[in-house]
Homo-oligomer: A and B are copies of this chain.
Amino acid sequence: MSDFKDQLAKCASKVDAVLDRLLREQNEDPEARLMEAMRYATLSGGKRIRPFMVVAGSGLFNVAESSALRVAAAIEMVHSYSLVHDDLPAMDDDDMRRGRPTCHMEFDEATAILAGDALLTGAFEVLADDETHADATVRSELVLSLAHAAGAAGMVGGQMLDLLAEENSLKMAEITRLQRMKTGELIGFSCEAGAILGKAPQTSRHALHAYAHDLGLAFQITDDLLDVEGDASEVGKAVGKDADAGKETFVSLMGVERAHGQAQMLADQAAQHLEIFDERAKPLIELAQFVVKRRA
């Protein structure tokens, strides 16, 4: 596992370097404050699990690392924007994120809203740039897939369901659907991006799609477990929020013990979808185990 953590850290530092270049500091312009907030929200030392998925998936199809890292950076920009907006007072109203004040606490609400907007917009600019891939068909497909995963039918729609969930008690099927939209779709795009970049055949795409589906659920169940069992200083944000809000989660519906079993079963199942690939699938297989064993 420590070998895998080294790999993950190495990938994180590479994607951070790309993000650092893409989000250039602007010391002289009056809009420097906007870029500062964008950098604050993005370059905050996350584990970069989604970028790792892109890079590991790209490794299956001989994709240039520079292409994979740009797509990874774009996905991390979208992920960061979604955290900034979800943390806003009108949404989940969180003060802490990754062990630091959230963006609107460090800056102000208006700046946080705009920084999120600019990160989302910037992600599409990165994908559509020919530095990401020489073939415009690939670039268009990346944009289309990311927009679908992140929009009303995906991440944003899932967040809407999540806000409404505080009023309605959800059943297992509804929580599964909510989480598939809110976090699963972007994880799905992260896992499939390498196949898009490498123009991989449909069988490969389907295998990665199935992997991402199971891994996404395992990821979310583990998140719910950390909210119950985790320590705020380790997790980097408030814990126990779902229970306090009276929100049903995977854990509230199936109990802690069954949730652990379910997460592990899904991680194993995720790995099995990758059996069609050679040993280059090892990082993704290890990722599945890491996702359910993490403590933060």
A contact residues vs B (CB 8 Å cutoff): 30-31, 33-35, 38, 81, 85, 88, 90-91, 108-111, 113-114, 116-118, 120-122, 124-125, 127-130, 135-137, 139-141, 143-144, 146-148, 150-152, 156-157, 159-161, 163-164, 168, 174
Known contacts A117-B120, A136-B136, A151-B118; decide if A34 and B156 are in contact (CB<8 Å). yes
A125–B110 Cα distance when bound, in Å, is 26
CB contacts (< 8 Å) of A164 on chain B: these are 30, 33
Please classify the interface of chain A as helix (H, G, I), strand (E, B), loop, or mixed, using the class held by over half of its residues: helix
User: Shortest 3 CB-CB distances between A and B: which pairs?
Assistant: A90-B109, A125-B147, A121-B151
Q: How many copies does the complex hold?
A: 2
Known contacts A109-B90, A161-B30; decide if A144 and B156 are in contact (CB<8 Å). no
Subset of 30 A-B contacts with CB under 8 Å:
A30-B161, A30-B168, A30-B174, A31-B152, A31-B157, A31-B161, A34-B152, A34-B156, A34-B157, A35-B152, A81-B117, A85-B113, A91-B113, A110-B163, A114-B156, A114-B163, A117-B120, A118-B151, A118-B156, A118-B157, A121-B156, A122-B147, A122-B152, A124-B146, A128-B140, A128-B141, A130-B140, A135-B136, A139-B143, A140-B140
